[in-house]
Structure 1
Amino acid sequence: MSILTIILNLFIPPLSVFLQHGLGGKFLISLLLTFIGWLPGVIYAFYVTK
């Protein structure tokens, strides 16, 4: 995991997931979790981009 990925996971989780996996289900889940609350989106982004 690069420094850029870690920074994006913390500040813009959906963008980080999009750059790793493209526009798909994982991105939509990340976007939804980030809208529900910032912390669930960050946790999911770290989980998916490990």
Structure 2
Amino acid sequence: MDTPSAILLILITLIFPPLGVFMVEGCDVDLIINIFLTILGYIPGHLHAFYLEYVYFNRREEAREGRLDSTPAPGIYSERVQTGGNGYGAIIPPGEH
């Protein structure tokens, strides 16, 4: 894991959870959910944001090690978070360069 970026992301999430979610996930359904949870109460917004960031960084590490779990994490709707940031762009199968 990129430790400096993760620490910065945690600090930003502690101050304003939707900004931390935006930095990981972009503008998608999970950001809207986090904004509503933060409006309902500061703690639910934090819980959702930290869960989303944990799944993102965990899936990213799994992808680097070649053991990415294909089952979706519950409660997360962003494909970018589900794949650890590896879900965009063209995927070329091995051996077809």
**Match in the other structure for 1:48:** 52
**Match in the other structure for 2:81:** none
TM-score normalized with structure 1 length:
0.92
* Equivalent residues in 2 for 1:27-38, closer than 5 Å: 27-38=31-42
**Match in the other structure for 1:17:** 21
Q: Please tell me the residue identity of whatever aligns with 1:15.
A: L
Q: Please tell me the residue identity of whatever aligns with 2:31.
A: F
**Match in the other structure for 2:9:** 5
* Higher relative contact order, chain-length normalized (CA < 8 Å, sep 6+): 1
Q: Which runs of 4+ in 1 moved over 3 A?
A: none
Structure 1 segments unaligned to the other structure (5+ residues): none
The total of aligned residue pairs comes to 50
TM-score normalized with structure 2 length:
0.49
Q: Percent identity?
A: 38
Structure 2 segments unaligned to the other structure (5+ residues): 55-97
Q: Please tell me the residue identity of whatever aligns with 2:38.
A: T
